[in-house]
A and B are shown apart, each in its own frame.
Chain A
Amino acid sequence: MPAPSKFTQALASEAFIVTCELNPPKGADPKVVQDRISALRDKVQAVVVSDNHSARMRMAPLGLCRHLLDQGLEPILTLTCRDRNRLALQSDLLAAFSLGIQNVLAVTGDYLSWGDHPQAKPVYDLDSVQLLKTLSGLNQGQDFSGNPLDGAPPFFTVGAVVPLTAHPIEPVVMKFRKKEAQGVDFFISHPLFDLKSAGDFFQQTPEVKTPLLATVCLLKWEQVAGYSPGNIPGLLLPEQALKQFQSWKEETYESRAWEFVAKLIEAVKNDGRFRGVHLMLQDREDKIGELI
């Protein structure tokens, strides 16, 4: 039996964890993202490989995760419920584990209308809670229908997402608790731009024991300039942060944004409620050395 993943070991340790998102290339050649892969080596405990991010078709994360393993990086496979029914989700998971991919982030998935194939059939056969339950079943050696798995069962380290700054927060907290009850090993937040915006969530869930990583996102100038609530899926910018970003001039935006991200990482580190930080650098992972 293989050893627990390096990321699992990090979760069990006291270390402050750093993960980073990596979008697979829109093409069959992993060399397209080689610079980013190389830059992430030794900088992060694990790389979260996105799954058709924003419903834009790209290389399956399963493939890129395997490339990362070949290069000695620890992958976290994102799996959305949007593109696969319960058979495909499970068979992809079994394939992933057989290829050495042990960490999974189970998500619902941005709706197809955000992406480049808006006329495709949305699946959502399972939702994220049910996918987490499925993962728990696979880890116990049985599929969703209760059939036993052949051979040694997988032992996935299972992650889920939580939008800490959503409003109203009550239904979000209820879903968070459902996810937690499925045996989640870690949570990753939606992008945070300050820590006080998550106050309502923490007020309602003082008992959270599951390791939680705060997502820190490097926004692009166009995203800031054209921002309106809801125009980028999963992104909620507090008014104060938006004003601050928009007050920066385009020429100096980039350096200021990196500075902001660095400061926010420090704030997360010092906050005490987070086990680590998850970076969303939006295809600028090659510059991660400036932060870590």
Chain B
Amino acid sequence: MIVAQRKPFAEIKKALAPYKNILVAGCGTCVAVCLAGGKKEVGLLASQLRMSFGLDKKEVKISEVTLERQCDREFLETVKNEVEQAEAVLSLACGAGIQFLAEAYPLRPVYPGVNTTFIGVAEAAGLWTERCRACGECLLAETGGICPRTICTKGLNNGPCGGMVEGKCEVDPERSCAWVLIHDRLSQEGRLAAMETVRPPTDFTRQTRPGKITHAAYLRRYHAGSK
């Protein structure tokens, strides 16, 4: 899932200062799971904004809505009334959702309420860690299911750097060195030879921004006439 973290309250409040009618829009998918922008977080933030503006003796209407997903036009259409009745929208979706909401409602200023951080997993209660860098050429088959491009801070493709200390990363001594993990895993699986391969560098053409994928079944619909 995409992991996000709510922006500091002061930053959000400052951005919203010019408005008197604000819609706080949550997203019910990834950001809900990582407790940054789901229905519950929308409620908490809306209350905090009401109280804070109230203490400033400022009359501001704060409404709340949470969509199933903000990265899908179908769901964005369901909040047309709420968005159009507000002066501005504070979106707690990931960066993709925020942009898609802004695109769907070009007359409404849309502000981000979270910082989108990485693609990760819920490692434990309240703990999310990165697992994928979306590099576009997955090499997990060769590395025992552990991604060196993500778990190694330097994204090295051919083994540990010289900074490893007792199996830990030079950048964060609490984290295991990706290449020590890969070595141990491949060793357990009995395929350590996979680590001897000299791997080519990452192909960054796969990461040319912005990414775009067309499902094979839709090629004719979106690319008719194009080469």
Contact partners of A170 in chain B: CB under 8 A = 183, 187
B:174-227 near A, CB below 8 Å = 177, 179-180, 182-183, 187, 195-196, 198, 200-202, 204
Q: A168 an interface residue at 8 Å Cβ cutoff?
A: yes
Q: B1 an interface residue at 8 Å Cβ cutoff?
A: no
Which of these binds chain A: B11-19, B85-93, B162-170? Answer: B162-170
Known contacts: A167-B167, A174-B196. The answer to whether A125 contacts B201 by CB under 8 A is yes
Q: How far is the CB of B166 from chain A (nearest CB, A)?
A: 6
Contact partners of B182 in chain A: CB under 8 A = 171
Known contacts: A108-B162, A174-B183. The answer to whether A130 contacts B196 by CB under 8 A is no
Q: How many residues of B contact A (CB 8 A)?
A: 32
Bound Cα distance from A107 to B154, whole angstroms: 12
Q: Are A190 and B201 in contact (CB under 8 A)?
A: no
Contact partners of B171 in chain A: CB under 8 A = 111, 113
Chain B's closest residue to A113 (CB) is: B171
Q: A236 an interface residue at 8 Å Cβ cutoff?
A: yes
Interface string of A218-255 (1 = CB under 8 A from B): 00000000000110011010000000000000000000
Chain B's closest residue to A236 (CB) is: B165
Greatest chain B CB density within 10 A among A127, A129, A174 is at A127
Chain A's closest residue to B181 (CB) is: A171
A:131-179 near B, CB below 8 Å = 133, 161-163, 166-168, 170-172, 174-175, 177-178
Q: B43 an interface residue at 8 Å Cβ cutoff?
A: no
Query: Which of B168, B170, B183, B201 meets A127, CB within 8 Å?
Result: B201
Known contacts: A111-B153, A127-B157, A234-B162. The answer to whether A168 contacts B198 by CB under 8 A is no
Query: Which of B170, B179, B204 meets A111, CB within 8 Å?
Result: B170
Query: Which of B168, B170, B198 meets A129, CB within 8 Å?
Result: B198
Q: Are B156 and A86 in contact (CB under 8 A)?
A: no
Q: A110 an interface residue at 8 Å Cβ cutoff?
A: yes
Contact partners of A229 in chain B: CB under 8 A = 165-166
Interface on A for B, CB 8 Å cutoff? Answer: 82, 86, 107-111, 113, 122, 124-130, 133, 161-163, 166-168, 170-172, 174-175, 177-178, 181-182, 190, 229-230, 233-234, 236
The contact sample of 18 A-B pairs, CB cut-off 8 A, is A108-B162, A111-B153, A111-B154, A122-B154, A124-B154, A124-B155, A127-B156, A129-B157, A129-B198, A161-B162, A168-B180, A170-B183, A171-B177, A171-B179, A174-B159, A175-B179, A178-B158, A182-B198
